[in-house]
Amino acid sequence: MSYLLDGKRIVMGTDYYPEHWDPSMWDEDLKRMQETGIEVIRIAEFAWNKFEPREGEFTFSFFDDFLAHCNACSMKVIFGTPTATPPAWMTDKYPEVLNAKMDGTLYRHGARRHYNYNSVVYQNFTKELVEKLASHYGPNPAIVGWQIDNEINCECNEFYSESDTLAFRRFLKDKYGTIENLNKAWGTVFWNQTYTAWSEVYVPRVTLSNNTNPHEVLDYKRFVSDSACRWAKMQSDIIARYRKPGDFITTNGIFQDIDSHRMTQESLDFITYDSYPNMAYELDTNLPAGDLKDRNWSMMLDEVRSIHGIYGIMEQQSGANGWNVRMVSPTPRPGQITLWTMQSIAHGADYIGYFRWRTATMGTEIYWHGILDYSSRENRRIAEIRKIHSLFQKIGSVAGNAYEANVGILESYDNKWDAELDIWHAEIEKQSAAAIYRAAQFTHTPIDYVYLRENTGAEDLTKYKVLFYPHAMIANGQQVKILQEYVAQGGILVLGCRAGLKTMTGQCTQENLPGVFRELAGAEVTEFTFVAKDEGITHAGWDGTEMETVLFNEELAPLGSAKVLARYEDSYYQGSPALIENSVGKGKVYYLGSAFSENTAQIFLEKLQVANPYGNLISLPRDCEIAVRSNGSESYLFVLNYSKEEQKLTLHKQMNDLYRGEMVSGELTLEGYGTRVFKIEEQ
Ligand code: GAL
């Protein structure tokens, strides 16, 4: 059983950089952390020079000394491998370890994450160091777990070094076997791109119109993900040989172009996330007014939960964010650190580590504030965190309970990555992803993200009453078969426009659309168009409800016994079918020929009777989010107020207010940024 996520309590931690502070401060810091409620610290993730100050010269004394201080006071430690920051002696002597821009210019020493995963030289340095760290520090009693690297793929998810080209060729040879197969998969006959030898193939390079063969780019994204996953596995295999029984291996964050599900399955015991909701309040932010703001981070937390039902937060916001070169932001207002902490816990976190104990006095992050400011002065934020710790004692029994959702949103990495390179895909995906999430939030309908992966089976889906797959542009027969089984067993599947357009290489199918989904959807697309700007928003009537059919409109035709539920009311295709319902076994498939607006998604949630599933327990205003964590017999209801105004809630049943330890019901007032956790008593 690992120290974190033991299913028994919520644990508090922080991120500490002993190398940034005079050792005379350590004991005082550790003591004060413990007085605040902090039991775990994450250390060392950027400190390569403290272990190998010069090539081949290893020393462990600095962190031996620091860990002795931790052991003396029983502070627990998560030890980070420092591979996000290669040392200057290395990058200077072996520039091949550096990542490059697309034009080949190397990213030089001076920042971080400037290495590439595929450099054999960097891999060898890393293997040697990680082996030395794991074997030396592994037995240390202070250590309870390991963090691999730091934020893999953060800040940079594109790699163009020579090592990457060599590795890309190997990846493609494994995948396609022959250059002829590669030519076919990439459609290189178009614009005369045909390759005659593997040596002619490169990672994407500078091209005219900044445009590279899209099938190549899709494979390149798969390759970047594969490289990152192999990077994590290389380190985790070493640590696994030396860690003490019970010590966990994790890494922090989810970023673009990495299959975090695969990485977690192959290399980690669980994933942790870095949550910075205050970024929604950056003064130069371009989030539209009235957007979900910090509530958007719930979406990220839902994504993390799709990887691991219960997870940790390795870095939870505790102060203003800012680098010297970007981001100016306010300090979290009174109550907001608590709000964001409870947001993490509501969505499935059982560990909260605050970033960082002290604000850095040097370097890029002097404005990325921690719990303390530059001096040791007592401040409002540490006082709030102490209070949060006392709340952790009161809500401890939430730990180990699963987040409840009846509605799932299907995703696949292929579609995610395709939407990064294909603007037609991106536009509809962006529109629908935000709209469905907003509709779920504002109707108080918890959702899960569910990834269709190679090993996903219908049994992973049947717990959801409704699954949305907004734009399944890339799909294969196997995925359709699983969805068919889900529906046949009573599930409801909602598909949006452009489903089945592309095969796994990203080429368009010649079948009638929606291609592989045609039979399941009971629908065929006869005509389609992006909605012209001068049309405004188009609509379709569904049983007397006027529903928006935004952005892209397909004219549909029903197949077999499928029924037309709604027809377009505008434009030249007025009267054509816009929504088709197909009964399959015990369930139903709805095929909507458009993208989703918040209005459209809300209509689906309501008509399919999955909106506001806790309406019998609580009524609450739009500015509040709810979440339920439950183990089947015990259930906990979280209420989170994201506005600075107080809000009125009505509890329709008696519940135990865990913060106050008293039974409550009826009308309650929640202060601005306030949160509550209620235990739903058995009836
Ligand atoms: C995270 C990162 C930390 C720190 C923080 C503030 O992304 O893991 O090391 O940089 O952001 O920028």
Cβ of residue 274 lying under 6 Å from some atom of ligand 1: yes
Cβ of residue 219 lying under 6 Å from some atom of ligand 1: no
Cβ of residue 154 lying under 6 Å from some atom of ligand 1: yes
Phi, psi of 658 (to 5 degrees): -70, -30
Phi, psi of 585 (to 5 degrees): 55, -130
pLDDT at 616 over 70: yes
Extract the tokens encoding 53: 């100050």
Over residues 569-594, mean pLDDT: 98
For ligand 1, atom 9: residue with the closest CA:
150
Extract the tokens encoding 1: 């059983």
pTM for the whole structure: 0.98
Whole-angstrom distance, CA of residue 652 vs CA of residue 221: 50
Whole-angstrom distance, CA of residue 564 vs CA of residue 526: 14
Phi, psi of 30 (to 5 degrees): -65, -40
Whole-angstrom distance, CA of residue 105 vs CA of residue 111: 15
Q: Which residues contact 195 (CB under 8 A, 6 or more apart)?
A: 179, 182, 183, 188, 201
Listed residue (92, 98, 83) closest to 46, CA to CA: 83
Q: What is the largest CA-CA distance in the chain?
A: 78
CA–centroid distance, 531 to ligand 1, in Å, is 41
DSSP states of 358-397: B--SSSTTTTS--SB-SS----HHHHHHHHHHHHHHHSGG
Whole-angstrom distance, CA of residue 340 vs CA of residue 656: 22
For ligand 1, atom 1: residue with the closest CA:
274
Element (H, E) at 340: helix 336-346
pLDDT at res. 209: 84
Element (H, E) at 49: helix 48-51
H helices of 178-332, where? 179-185, 214-242, 260-267, 297-307
Find residue 640's DSSP bridge partners.
Answer: 625, 675
The pairing of strands 539-542 and 563-568 is antiparallel
What is the pLDDT confidence band of residue 661, given thresholds at 50, 70 and 90?
Answer: very high
CA–centroid distance, 98 to ligand 1, in Å, is 20
Over residues 571-580, mean pLDDT: 98
DSSP states of 546-580: EEE-BSEEEEEEE-TT-EEEEEE-SSTTTTSEEEE
**CATH says 11-399 is which class?**
alpha beta
Catalytic site includes residue 151: yes
Element (H, E) at 417: helix 413-421
pLDDT at res. 376: 95
CATH 3.10.20.30 is the classification of domain 618-680: no
CA distances from 495 to 180, 466, 492, 522, 581 (A): 35, 11, 10, 11, 10
Over residues 329-340, mean pLDDT: 97
Q: Cα–Cα–Cα angle for 661, 667, 669, nearest 5°?
A: 70
Neighbour order of strands in the sheet with 492-495: 447-451, 407-411, 466-469, 492-495, 587-592, 577-584, 563-568, 539-542, 545-548
Cβ of residue 45 lying under 6 Å from some atom of ligand 1: no
pLDDT at res. 210: 81
Whole-angstrom distance, CA of residue 233 vs CA of residue 146: 13
pLDDT at res. 288: 54
Q: Which residues contact 598 (CB under 8 A, 6 or more apart)?
A: 435, 438, 439, 442
Whole-angstrom distance, CA of residue 239 vs CA of residue 398: 31
Among 20, 149, 151, say which to mutate for ligand 1: greatest number of ligand atoms within 8 Å of CB. Answer: 151
pLDDT at 285 over 70: no
pLDDT at res. 124: 98
Cβ of residue 107 lying under 6 Å from some atom of ligand 1: no
| Inter-residue contact 479 to 502 (CB < 8 Å) | no
Cβ of residue 315 lying under 6 Å from some atom of ligand 1: yes
Atom of ligand 1 minimally distant from the CA of 151: 8
| Inter-residue contact 18 to 27 (CB < 8 Å) | no
Listed residue (616, 641, 611) closest to 626, CA to CA: 641
CA–centroid distance, 119 to ligand 1, in Å, is 24
Whole-angstrom distance, CA of residue 157 vs CA of residue 162: 16
What is the pLDDT confidence band of residue 290, given thresholds at 50, 70 and 90?
Answer: low
CA distances from 552 to 566, 569, 594, 604 (A): 16, 14, 5, 18
pLDDT in tens, 357-381: 999 999 999 999 999 999 999 999 9
Over residues 211-232, mean pLDDT: 98
pLDDT in tens, 77-109: 999 999 999 999 999 999 999 999 999 999 999
pLDDT at 586 over 90: yes
What residue ranges do the domains of the chain occupy? Answer: 11-399, 407-607, 618-680
User: In the chain, what percentage of residues exceed pLDDT 70?
Assistant: 99
| Inter-residue contact 372 to 318 (CB < 8 Å) | no
Give the N- to C-terminal CA distance of the chain in Å, as an integer: 33
Alpha carbon of residue 637 to chain centroid? 23
Cβ of residue 15 lying under 6 Å from some atom of ligand 1: no
Atom of ligand 1 minimally distant from the CA of 323: 12
**Active-site residue, selected from the candidate residues 45, 52, 216, 315:** 315
> What is residue 524's three-state secondary structure?
strand
Whole-angstrom distance, CA of residue 174 vs CA of residue 652: 60
CA–centroid distance, 162 to ligand 1, in Å, is 28
Listed residue (252, 276, 271) closest to 310, CA to CA: 271
Q: Options 3.20.20.70, 3.40.50.2300, 2.40.40.20, 3.40.50.880; which CATH number does 407-607 get?
A: 3.40.50.880
**Active-site residue, selected from the candidate residues 151, 384, 524, 555:** 151
Alpha carbon of residue 362 to chain centroid? 30
Extract the tokens encoding 5: 């996520």
CA–centroid distance, 252 to ligand 1, in Å, is 10
pLDDT at res. 128: 98
Catalytic site includes residue 266: no
CA distances from 169 to 192, 219, 220, 230, 491 (A): 20, 11, 10, 16, 42
pLDDT in tens, 152-186: 999 999 999 999 999 999 999 999 999 999 999 99
pLDDT at res. 282: 86
Find residue 550's DSSP bridge partners.
Answer: 595
For ligand 1, atom 10: residue with the closest CA:
365
Extract the tokens encoding 93: 């002597």
CA–centroid distance, 362 to ligand 1, in Å, is 14
User: In the chain, what percentage of residues exceed pLDDT 90?
Assistant: 97
pLDDT at res. 363: 98
Cβ of residue 314 lying under 6 Å from some atom of ligand 1: no
Only one residue has tokens 């590279």, namely: 212
> What is residue 332's three-state secondary structure?
coil
Atom of ligand 1 minimally distant from the CA of 46: 9
Whole-angstrom distance, CA of residue 169 vs CA of residue 164: 9
Task: Tell me which amino acid residue 476 is.
Answer: N
Cβ of residue 150 lying under 6 Å from some atom of ligand 1: yes
DSSP states of 572-622: TTTTSEEEEEEEETTEEEEEESSB--HHHHHHHHHHTT-S-TTTTTEE--T
| Inter-residue contact 277 to 315 (CB < 8 Å) | no
Over residues 469-493, mean pLDDT: 98
CA–centroid distance, 344 to ligand 1, in Å, is 17
- Please provide the average confidence, as pLDDT, over all residues in the chain: 97
